[in-house]
Amino acid sequence: MPFYRMPDGEALFVREFGQGEPVVVLSGLGMHSWQWLPFLYQHKKQYRFIIPDWRGFGGSNLCAVPELDAISSHWQDLNSLLQQQNLQQFKLIGYSMGATTAMHGMQYGQLAAHLSSYLQIDQAPKIGVDENWPYGLFGNQHQQFKQLLIHLSEFLHDHAQYTDIQQMDVLQRKNLVELWLEFIELQASNKISPFLFKLAVKRPVLQRYILPTQRLDYLRWYIDNYLHHQEDYREALTQLGCPTVFFTGAQSTLYAAEGQRQVVEAMPNAKQVIFHQSGHTPLLTEPLKFNQEISQFLKLNS
CATH of the domain at 249: 3.40.50.1820
* Domain contains 164: yes
Say if residue 204 is exposed, middle or buried (CB neighbours under 10 Å; 0-12, 13-18, 19+): middle
206, 99: one domain: no
Judge whether residue 209 has pLDDT over 90: no
Contacts (Cβ under 8 Å, ≥6 apart) of 165: 173, 176, 207, 208, 211, 214, 216
Q: Are 164 and 216 in contact (CB under 8 A)?
A: yes
Judge whether residue 79 has pLDDT over 80: yes
179, 114: one domain: no
214, 266: one domain: no
Weakest-pLDDT range from 109-113, 128-132, 181-185: 181-185
* pLDDT of the residue at 193: 46
SS3 of residue 190 by DSSP: coil
Q: Identify the DSSP state of 61.
A: T
Domain end marker among 196, 228, 260:
228
* Domain contains 38: yes
CA distance 16 to 93: 14
Domain end marker among 228, 254, 269:
228
Helix (H) / strand (E) element for 152: namely: helix 142-158
Question: Listing from the earlier edge strand, what are the strands of the sheet with 115-121?
Answer: 3-5, 11-18, 47-52, 21-26, 90-95, 115-121, 244-249, 270-275
19, 155: one domain: no
Give the residue-averaged pLDDT of 44-63. 96
118, 265: one domain: yes
CA distance 289 to 302: 21
Contacts (Cβ under 8 Å, ≥6 apart) of 83: none
Of 166, 192, 198, which Cα lies nearest the Cα of 180? 198
* pLDDT of the residue at 30: 87
CA distance 132 to 175: 36
State how many domains the chain has.
2
118, 165: one domain: no
24, 105: one domain: yes
* pLDDT of the residue at 201: 46
Say if residue 189 is exposed, middle or buried (CB neighbours under 10 Å; 0-12, 13-18, 19+): middle
Judge whether residue 207 has pLDDT over 50: no
* Domain contains 134: no
222, 183: one domain: yes
Domain end marker among 192, 209, 228:
228
* Domain contains 132: no
CB atoms within 10 A of CB 283: 22
* Domain contains 133: no
The three-point CA angle 244-108-248 to 5° equals 30
117, 30: one domain: yes
265, 122: one domain: yes
Give the residue-averaged pLDDT of 79-85. 97
* pLDDT of the residue at 188: 54
Domain housing 83 = 3-126+231-299
101, 221: one domain: no
* pLDDT of the residue at 202: 53
Give the residue-averaged pLDDT of 84-102. 97
CA distance 269 to 91: 15
